[in-house]
Amino acid sequence: AIAEATRSKLQKLPDTPINISDEIKAILPFELPIKFKSQTRAVVTALHKVFEFEKLPPTYFIELPPLPHDINDLDYSIKHLFPITERRELGKLAYYRKRLQEVYSCDKIPDHFFNLPPPMPEKPALPPAYQDIENPQLRACFPIDRANQDTNMQDIVTRLREYYAFQNIPNDYFLVKPSLPKDPSRIKTQNTYTYPITDDTEAATFIHEELIMTANPTNKPRLPTDPKMITEVNLTIPIDTPKRITETACLLRPHYYFQKLPTEWIQILETNNKTIDEMSANKE
């Protein structure tokens, strides 16, 4: 009953917005006639507070011209937006459609308004084990020693993404160090210690041993310090970029055992012209 009483007090919607008083037009969120379809709901809600109607007449909308078929015939204000040539813009289609509808009558963006490059071929997933990497030079970069401060993780990730799609590098790609032997006599260090260690200073020295094990645990020969003795691969010495450190280590790893490249092989100049002579690619 209340709804009927309220409805009985509503005026009949004029056939044209010209006949709506300025006082009523002032309460509307947008001007009449409606230019953009996106404004229709808000205008209808406001008009229903004063007028009774089921549907807005065509006279309440600005009749926009149809969308030209040729992009070159678009209005100058939006011509620069088309054709859409970058795939990253596909996430903004609502914006492009709205810009078209500001000037023309259209429901969607025509297919020929796109000129996108072909999609990139999908890369295979990164194998769960680095031993399954097909590229031998790339495979030689693993396992990764996270304890080595000279390991360039960004470079390794970049090289992997050239061949594979992945979110994270599997744990099997990282070096897992063996547990400390329970028998102290099996611990090999550069310095000699008497176990158990009771002196605090000596204990600190032991903890900071650069190499707990100096033996060669593989059947590969040790890396010669003289690059002229290496015949299996072609080396360019000195090494002058961090990327080449990783590449050189990957080349040598299948043939030789080493913890890091000899420092005398490396001459990297920073922007301040200081030489970095302590970088190496340790990824055993």
DSSP string, 27-60: HSSS-SSB--GGGHHHHHHHHTTTEE-SS--GGG
217 Cβ contact partners less than 8 Å away, ≥ 6 residues apart: 257
Residue 86 is inside which H or E element, if any?
A: none
- What's the rounded mean pLDDT across residues 162-180? 84
**Alpha-carbon distance 235 to 251, whole Å?**
9
Is the pLDDT reported for residue 281 higher than 60? no
pLDDT, position 147:
73
* Residue spans of beta strands (DSSP E) within the chain: 11-12, 51-52, 268-269, 275-276
* pLDDT score recorded for residue 178: 64
Residue 73, burial from CB neighbour count under 10 angstroms (0-12, 13-18, 19+) = exposed
Report percent pLDDT > 90 for the chain: 32
Q: Band of the pLDDT at 186, cuts 50, 70, 90?
A: low
Q: Tell me the backbone φ, ψ of residue 207, rounded to 5 degrees.
A: -65, -35
At 209-233, the pLDDT tens digits run: 655 555 666 778 889 889 888 888 8
Per-residue pLDDT of 50-67, as tens digits, reads 999 999 999 999 888 999
Q: What are phi and psi of 160, to 5 degrees?
A: -65, -40
Two structure tokens written together for 69: 């078929």
Considering the entire predicted model, what is its pTM? 0.38
Longest dimension (CA), the chain: 104
Q: How far is CA 244 from CA 144, 155, 222, in A?
A: 17, 10, 20
Q: 15-40 burial, b if ≥16 CB within 10 A, otherwise e?
A: eebeebeeebeeebeeebbbeeeebe
Q: Which helix (H) or strand (E) holds 243?
A: helix 242-252
- Tokens coding 130: 């680095």
Closest CA to 216 of 262, 259, 265, 261: 259
Mean of the per-residue pLDDT values for the chain? 83
Question: Which segment of 101-105, 181-185, 229-233 scores lowest on mean pLDDT?
Answer: 181-185
